[in-house]
Structure 1
Amino acid sequence: MIDRLDRVVDDVSTVHSKLVLLIGEPGTGKSKLLRQLAERRAAPTLNVGAALGRELLTVPRARRHLHVAEIFRRLADDLVSQGILTVDNIELLFDRTLQLSPLDLLRRQAQSRRIIAVWPGGTRGNRLTYAETGHSEHQDYAIDGLVPFTVH
């Protein structure tokens, strides 16, 4: 599976949006596959929960939504290597108080670099989902503009 993912990462280097999402049920090895890719490519991994969470602690709660995108961009810029960044533990981005679209944030960053990220939700048909319908953090997106990579 790592060889197939490695080829996909090479293939997306020529398209406008260079976002690859690793999608699969919990326990299918998405994070493990991401670590293998990061090792193979000598690419850093941005642990969003840890790194962004640490940075946001210095920002007053009422102003975090104003700074989150810029902090994320700076963290990505600091870590990107050879045009590739692997991203894991993005659940913090779904926090409603941050007032952002996690997928749009990733898409914007993927215009200038290849981003391979673990998606913590699932799919329904041609849609990405996060959390169950009715949950306060529920999100639903079209898959357009990214490369879904299913991990079984």
Structure 2
Amino acid sequence: MTHAFALSAEVAKLPALERLIEEINDLQSKLILLVGSSGKTRLLRALARRLNAKPLNVGVTLGRRLAVTPVSDRGFSTNELLREITDGVSGDAPLLLDNLEVLFEPSLKVNPLNVIKLLAHSRPVIAVWPGEIHNDRLIYTGMGHPEHRDYSRDGVVVFETAQRQ
């Protein structure tokens, strides 16, 4: 698959994603997860260009804030810090989140999916899920890995991106 073809394939998905964003406004949790083996970040960036918005790199932005937070306070501070960061993202566009892996750090002792679900109660959130969907379950990393998570997709709208051939 060439880069130009991959990009056009993701751009072709934009209208469906935009319709889905309109539809979630009536839901309590306005969270859309981009899930798939490829194309998630490209699709998020294409959506950002269309909406004249900027995706938030959670790993970099939250990581910087956590780095200056005492280790013993990080678990308690994660939700609050992320809320402060996202409250600083202005505009009417949905909140676009990428690079969520930092939320899976075991020492934080947070539920990564719940952290982003909470953000989606106040405004639409479109987030790149760093794992996969398998048998209607959201999976992050393999069994036995310290960061392994397995969630029901309840309360989440899943938008599947291109799958690798």
* TM-score for both structures, normalised by structure 1: 0.95
| Structure 2: tracts of 5 or more residues without a match | 1-12
| Superimposed CA distance per residue, residues 13-44 of structure 1 (whole angstroms, 9 cap, x where no aligned partner) | 1211100000001xx21101001111111223
Percent of paired sites with the same residue: 41
Corresponding residue to 2:152 among 127, 142, 145: 142
User: Which stretch shifts more, 125-134 or 80-89?
Assistant: 80-89
CA contact (8 A) 1:55 1:71 kept: yes
1:37 aligns with 2:47: yes
**Superposition map of 1:39-58 within 5 A:** 39-58=49-68
**Superposition map of 1:64-79 within 5 A:** 64-79=74-89
CA contact (8 A) 2:33 2:158 kept: yes
**Superposition map of 1:1-152 within 5 A:** 1-25=13-37, 28-82=38-92, 84-152=94-162
Tell me which amino acid in the other structure corresponds to 1:81: G
Number of equivalences: 150
CA contact (8 A) 2:30 2:120 kept: yes
- The 3-state SS of whatever aligns with 1:79 is coil
* TM-score for both structures, normalised by structure 2: 0.88
Please give the alpha-carbon distance, in whole angstroms, between the structure 1 residues aligned to 2:48 and 2:25: 16
| Structure 1: tracts of 5 or more residues without a match | none
Query: Does the C-alpha gap of structure 1 residues 80 and 149 become closer, same or farther in structure 2, counting only changes over 3 Å?
Result: farther
Structure number with larger C-alpha Rg = 2
Tell me which amino acid in the other structure corresponds to 2:44: L
Query: Does the C-alpha gap of structure 1 residues 15 and 83 become closer, same or farther in structure 2, counting only changes over 3 Å?
Result: farther
| Superimposed CA distance per residue, residues 65-114 of structure 1 (whole angstroms, 9 cap, x where no aligned partner) | 11111000111111142051000000000000000001001111101100
- The 3-state SS of whatever aligns with 2:68 is coil
Which residue in 1 is equivalent to 2:5? Answer: none
CA contact (8 A) 2:51 2:93 kept: no
